[in-house]
Amino acid sequence: MSLYVESLGEGPDLVLLHGWAMHSGMWGEVPEFLAQHFRVHLIDLPGHGFSQPAFPYETGEKTDVGECMVERVVEVLPPGCVICGWSLGGQLAIELALREPARVKKIVLTSTTPSFVKRKDWQWGMEELTLKAFAENLKRDFSTTMKRFLTLQVNGGGDAGKVLPEMRRLLFERSVPEPEALEAGLQIVLANDLRRKLRNIVQPALLIHGENDVIAYPEAAGWMKQQFQDAELVMLPNCSHVPFLSYPDKFVANIVRFTDEFK
């Protein structure tokens, strides 16, 4: 079964990849705004949203679930596209840019970090035990745990009172992710450390980040910018982990500006 892809608009191809435990409906109204400039492709990752049942692999220690997920996206990736990834979707965008340099012309990394996990030589991450505990709570009570996760995502944003209800509404408009999908996503979040790969990205990169993001630290975004061969960082003030909902106009305007020469 192929991944669910919704396409709208006309123009250069722009692919949107959502984050862990989410679906492509989380982009809200932004795709409609982007569709005035692009042919927008919204992809539900394996086991998420409308891409169910569509998990073709077991989540075991010997399985590179990140590579498997990238392979599934490659199957539906239009040639010569720009990829915009949010959070975990941004990490997938990095992997796709490395794997498919002829097909991926530019990347937009939204609230992305090379490592979500704190490591000995990486301070801008979350504690591994915290992420594992979150995953266990997801298995027990998906609805309550996801509501808490959404609250964490809007922390630090000046418009949390507006964005949080919108995120809750959007999240539950589609099916709950498959348990295997959540486990696979967790494996990617825990294992991914893309720091050494960033210098190999040849495509131009635009980083859009909230200065108060408590999931993908803003310091991580600043560090990433220095690693890319060609990168620009847009840091949005008083903004959390979901800049496309907090500042949809600025979000769209920056992508349009960044891709002007691509057109």
- The catalytic residues are 87, 213, 241
Tokens coding 122:
């990486």
**Cα–Cα distance, 227 to 196 (Å, whole number):** 9
257's tokens:
């500006």
User: Token pair for residue 33?
Assistant: 């705004």
CA–CA gap between residue 222 and residue 111 (Å, rounded): 11
User: Collapsing DSSP states into helix, strand and coil, what is residue 28?
Assistant: coil
Bridge partners of 82, per DSSP, are 14, 106
Burial class (CB in 10 A: 0-12, 13-18, 19+), 214: middle
Q: Cβ(224)–Cβ(198) under 8 Å? A: yes
Decide: 109 and 207 in contact? Cβ < 8 Å.
yes
